[in-house]
Amino acid sequence: MKLPSALNSIRDLTIGTEWENDLFIVGGAVRDQCLGGGANEDFDLVTRGSAVRLAEFLYEQGLAEHFPVTYARFGTAMVKVADVTIELITARRESYQSDSRKPDVEPSTYLEDALRRDFTVNSLRIGVHDGQLVDTLGTGLPDLEAKVLRTPKDPAETFFDDPLRMLRAVRFRHRLGFRPADGLYEAIVSTSERLAIVSKERIRDEFLKILAHFTAAEALEDLRHLRLWPHILPEVLDMVDVEQGKYHHLDVWHHTRLVVDHLRDQPVRLKLAGLLHDIGKPSTRTIDAKGDTRFFGHESVGAAMTETMLRRLMLSERDILAVRNLVKNHMRLGSAPEFSATAARRLVRDLGDQVEDLLTLVEADAASLRPGVQVMDLSAIRARIDDVTMATPSSALESPLTGEQIMALMGIPAGPEVGRLKQWLVEEVLEGRLAPGDTVAAEAALRDLAR
């Protein structure tokens, strides 16, 4: 393994110390290197000595860029060397209480340390000083070569100890292209309720990593079969087996997965919108007198549900509102027979820098309809939006007059009437009857309105 300069520096500095030949790279960096992956941005180093003392030593010798962050309870420390984040770990054994995924730890052997890890392929280690690959369990390398995801101990015990590993199993299976070992997925099903003890923040982080990968659509189905959705976003299960009528060949759930698959190369925020764009359909489904299936207002219902769900998952306010906005507007382009300049101005005003995301979502949605269904011409819509954007940036699609100017011109006090007149001016701009920023024409228009 070719070491980055940061690890070369640690190797050189620890020669002749208690850590010489007792310091190993372990975990994902070793696994990815063995799989021919690219360079890692951070590394885990394990030693039978004191990781905290090693971190302090690196700082005292001027190698670490800041005073180490230490976690004495777990025997770990974090340092940064040459802009590389490095976690230092004392080899340990762990024991868990039934109501917590935070273990009690005590220093131990490399074998015990390997047994406490999530998967055998993450237990491989490489000596910092001699560069030798060590397979402590004897199963890590064969599993890596066979592309098998296996736990070091009985999988039910591994997942009971730390339930977050169930989500990691789904992530690694699809990210690495591995197959689960016999009994692995069955153990997840049998212990899935344990995920309830994990914090929403940790669940969110693992879920977003799953969604970020191009295999997200397949992984989402795994989450369903493994009974993990109730602990992530339980509402998505309501989409299963909800039939959609003549324009669709799939139920809402499988249509949604197909939309996410069409968004496989898009950012996570857009994939979240794809996952939730039809979340309002199960509660709004009706069948009219002709026997046609309808979902009136599902986009508005879905937008409200999206906000509630993502707040529960503790996403940032910015991400919540962005995803909500896309869900709310995903039917908007198909609501009129012609996409006029006025409609384009309104879209640019309301969506701002999310216009392109909305178009991408609509394209993915349309591509997931029943084959042969005629869809809208998005190229014409894009051209109309481009024309409007070039002529009128979104920042100009507002009232040419401020509230104070309206009060002075009309001789009225502050109140609801000022807001109504200001919105009337906005509508005049959007309809193209007023030029953006034309205060003279806006004043004349208000005087005409008053007369």
Give the C-alpha separation, 129 to 196, whole Å.
Answer: 42
Are 349 and 416 in the same domain?
no
Are 269 and 418 in the same domain?
no
User: C-alpha angle with apex 109: 172 to 81, nearest 5 degrees?
Assistant: 65
- Per-residue pLDDT tens digits for 202-225: 999 999 999 999 999 999 999 999
pLDDT at res. 402:
81
Are 82 and 17 in the same domain?
yes
pLDDT at res. 394:
63
pLDDT at res. 288:
86
Q: What is the CATH number of the domain that holds 329?
A: 1.10.3210
Radius of gyration of the chain (CA): 29
Are 257 and 274 in the same domain?
yes
Give the C-alpha separation, 50 to 218, whole Å.
Answer: 42
- Per-residue pLDDT tens digits for 287-324: 888 888 888 999 999 999 999 999 999 999 999 999 99
pLDDT at res. 173:
96
Are 250 and 344 in the same domain?
yes
Give, to the nearest 10 degrees, the angle between helix 355-366 and helix 317-329.
50
Are 249 and 371 in the same domain?
yes
pLDDT at res. 335:
56
Which residue segment(s) compose the domain that 182 sits in? 150-232
Are 251 and 139 in the same domain?
no
Residues 6+ apart with CB under 8 A from 165: 118, 151, 158, 159
Residues (pLDDT < 70) of the chain are: 1, 38-39, 98-99, 101, 335-337, 372, 374, 392-396
pLDDT at res. 377:
73
Are 384 and 243 in the same domain?
yes
pLDDT at res. 271:
97
- Per-residue pLDDT tens digits for 379-392: 888 888 888 777 76
pLDDT at res. 435:
78
User: C-alpha angle with apex 158: 169 to 103, nearest 5 degrees?
Assistant: 115
pTM value is 0.84
Residues 6+ apart with CB under 8 A from 141: 34, 124, 133, 135
